[in-house]
Structure 1
Amino acid sequence: MSDTLALTRRLVSIPSHEDERAAGDAVESWLRAETDAAVRRDDAGNVIARRGDGNRSLALVGHHDVVAPADEQVRDGEYVVAERNGRLHGRGAADMKGSLAAAMVAFRDADPATELVFASFAGEEQGGVGARAAIDEGFAPDYAVVGEGSTGYSAPGVTDVAVAHKGRRGSTLVARGESAHASEPEAGENAVYRACDAVDVVRGLDAPETTVLGQELRGSVVVTEIDGGSGWNVIPDRCAATVDERTVPGERADLGRVESVPGVEWTVDQDLPPMACDDADFAEAVLDAAREAQDGNPRHVAKPHATDAGWLAAAGTTPVVCGAAEPGEAHTAGESVAIDVLERCERIYRGVAESA
């Protein structure tokens, strides 16, 4: 069994959906035992290690928290790990303890061309809690390869390099009115009607779009929930609607326009930033490493999902995303990752570290 597979199995077996400290302990102890790097654990639970030196720094980035498992993915307090048909099954195998293990082995084995940094963040599934804490404390590598999924985008089984991804802005619009008896609607101000007027504004907004290194990204903005009223015979004095916006680098829908409707307020609840790689040479260097590591023909692609690469890009790091997970695997009851792709990702990360 390869070191990458053995380490993936170990990490995947450790529950980390409610409390990721045990998984962080495993990452930290392995780095201290297997490398001579300077390793530290910050107050947010992030594990960060550094080795080598140079005028630039390259980070291999992942996270060790996961979403809650399905019932069949847990047995006797640990996550179930199984190998079938060349794939490793278990919560977090794809998102993203497999790529995390590959990055750890590459961090240990590479002969880096510059300062090499490893970071495993906590709280990625809670909106990038760990990444934001690390950035606030000065985490600022020049370049980063974030090990979220990029396999199977251009063709089945091919590990591509994502140079951009969408972000997500979740927000709420609240319409307020004045209640009255439904038999006398003119005596009140119907908050549902005001909310509907605001929803019409949302429907009329143009979806943002842009191009990053030849990759086209088109965002979206859509109302996903609506709630209002207190009874069948009462004019409602409050109605709220949830808006899901998929953002693209440099562009936002003008959602503030909903406040032109009388009585409507708009509040942003979550804003996960999009990512754009701003260095074509770095993006090409990672793609070269991906070509060397596999028989397929990897390409630059764009991802639809937000990752910690967005926080890094917003803070000034130049990131790309490259990892083993395929579309549709993360957060599922049957989550799995191809074992040969794990080994491939270790080669890609090592190749980038030794050449970028």
Structure 2
Amino acid sequence: MSVVELTRDLVSIPSHEDETAAGDFVEAWLRRETDAEVRRDEAGNVIARKGTGADAETLALVGHHDVVEPAESQVVNAGDDAARTGDGATEYVVAERDGRLYGRGAADMKGALAAAMLAFRDATPAGELVFASFVGEEVGGVGARHAIESGFAPDYAVVGEGSTNYSGPDVTDVAVAHKGRRGSTITARGQAAHASEADAGENAIYRATAAVDLVRDLEPPSVKVAGERLDGRLTVTEIEGGSAMNVVPARCEFTVDERTVPGERAPLGRVEELEDVEWRVDQDLPPMRCDDRAFAEAVLAAADGAQDGEPELVTKPHATDAGWLAEAGTECVIYGPSEPGEAHTDDESVSIAVLERCRETYRRVAEEWPTAR
């Protein structure tokens, strides 16, 4: 089976609300095509192992089989309610043209998943080789967190998220760090009063705007990785407060999107030093940094041998499951076919040539690491 055929099969399976059918396919394929130990955990993750066990260092090829909701044009029978399943479609549209595969999940990240499945099957690993396809990556790393809590702890991991065309055109680079995301809600409370007697109350909007000013004045941390400066960022994104034009508001809240970097966090908790202001963290997706230079260089060498371009060590601006793995102690890098601006779009696509490149790189890494040191 070619990487194109396998990608087509994976992309056609709806998995934006229910990943079960896609997980069934991955599990059945691994059981049929490999002699690995394959299991499906309670969350729906598919995990397979082969190679030497016990004392061997472990390398994992990691992906996810959930996707974001497709556009109507990406769904077969999108207008036929009788044909729709619980996941909203009988199948997704997959098209091939101009050397690319088009369809929901082609770039993020069923193409990389297909490349990793084939590399896992074909490689004679240097140590213990693990394949893992997680659920719930698009909704905060649900599957990755479940696996880690259940003991999933590879020494090293190549996560197949996008790293193509970062340093230049037609190059698949090796990402050694990415930002995380912390989403917060900050709530200011006051005391309601009629606006004609405003001094009888305490204006929650005024307290909230004082907190906004404090957030604007905070200096987000930054870190230098692989010759690049990775800067944190704080952005106030929503604000809501008040009940009527003639009422002093008793409550006002706003949200903050924070892009975090490995190491320190911005001291957002300082807003609670203001009177009647509370801070709540709603989501915290961890950043990632690979601290094992030898591993990063080994993956870079494998990537270099699999393409004509000259890949580099780069950083990514957004969070992936690599953050959860790195937080748990796994040394991670990211290497995959998706290009900036390609994922989650209505005409999402992936280069077939780059899928082949990724398949070959994954195989090389599996056969050369950890003995490449």
Which interval holds the TM-score relative to the shorter structure?
Answer: over 0.9
Instruction: Provide the residue aligned with 2:288 in structure 1.
Output: 275
Instruction: Provide the residue aligned with 2:243 in structure 1.
Output: 230
1:313 matched to 2:326: yes
Instruction: Provide the residue aligned with 2:343 in structure 1.
Output: 330
Q: Which range moves more in the overlay, 52-61 or 192-201?
A: 52-61
Shift of 1:57: 0.4
SS at structure 2 position matched to 1:61: strand
Identity %: 72
Question: Could you report, residue by residue, the CA deviation over 1:104-127 in whole angstroms, capped at 9, with x for unpaired residues?
Answer: 000000111110000000000010
Shift of 1:292: 0.2
Instruction: Provide the residue aligned with 1:30 in structure 2.
Output: 29
Q: Which structure 2 segments of 5+ residues have no match? A: 78-89
1:244 matched to 2:245: no
Given that 1:95 and 1:330 are in contact with CA atoms closer than 8 Å, whether structure 2 keeps it comes out as yes
Instruction: Provide the residue aligned with 2:59 in structure 1.
Output: 58
SS at structure 2 position matched to 1:265: strand
SS at structure 2 position matched to 1:207: coil
Question: Could you report, residue by residue, the CA deviation over 1:202-260 in whole angstroms, capped at 9, with x for unpaired residues?
Answer: 00000210122433211101100000000000000000000000000012100001111
The residue type paired with residue 51 of structure 2 is G
Given that 1:210 and 1:251 are in contact with CA atoms closer than 8 Å, whether structure 2 keeps it comes out as no
Instruction: Provide the residue aligned with 1:49 in structure 2.
Output: 48
| Off by >6 Å, runs of 4+ in structure 1 | none
Q: CA RMSD in A?
A: 0.7
1:71 matched to 2:76: no
Q: How many angstroms apart in 1 are the aligned matches of 2:6 and 2:291?
A: 33
Given that 2:185 and 2:280 are in contact with CA atoms closer than 8 Å, whether structure 1 keeps it comes out as yes
Instruction: Provide the residue aligned with 2:80 in structure 1.
Output: none
Instruction: Provide the residue aligned with 2:87 in structure 1.
Output: none
Selected match of 1:339 from 333, 352, 362: 352
1:137 matched to 2:150: yes
Q: How many angstroms apart in 1 are the aligned matches of 2:58 and 2:49?
A: 9
Q: How many angstroms apart in 1 are the aligned matches of 2:196 and 2:52?
A: 77
SS at structure 1 position matched to 2:196: coil
Q: Which structure 1 segments of 5+ residues have no match? A: none
The residue type paired with residue 57 of structure 2 is R
Give the TM-score, by structure 1 length: 0.99
The residue type paired with residue 16 of structure 1 is S
SS at structure 2 position matched to 1:296: coil
The residue type paired with residue 58 of structure 2 is S
The residue type paired with residue 266 of structure 1 is W
The residue type paired with residue 218 of structure 1 is D
SS at structure 2 position matched to 1:183: helix
Instruction: Provide the residue aligned with 2:84 in structure 1.
Output: none
Q: Which range moves more in the overlay, 328-337 or 49-58?
A: 49-58
Q: How many angstroms apart in 2 are the aligned matches of 1:49 and 1:3?
A: 20
Shift of 1:3: 1.6
The residue type paired with residue 141 of structure 1 is P
SS at structure 2 position matched to 1:69: coil
Instruction: Provide the residue aligned with 1:3 in structure 2.
Output: 2
Q: How many angstroms apart in 1 are the aligned matches of 2:76 and 2:274?
A: 53
1:258 matched to 2:257: no
Selected match of 1:298 from 285, 303, 311: 311
Given that 2:226 and 2:314 are in contact with CA atoms closer than 8 Å, whether structure 1 keeps it comes out as no
Shift of 1:157: 1.4
Give the TM-score, by structure 2 length: 0.94
Given that 2:286 and 2:324 are in contact with CA atoms closer than 8 Å, whether structure 1 keeps it comes out as yes
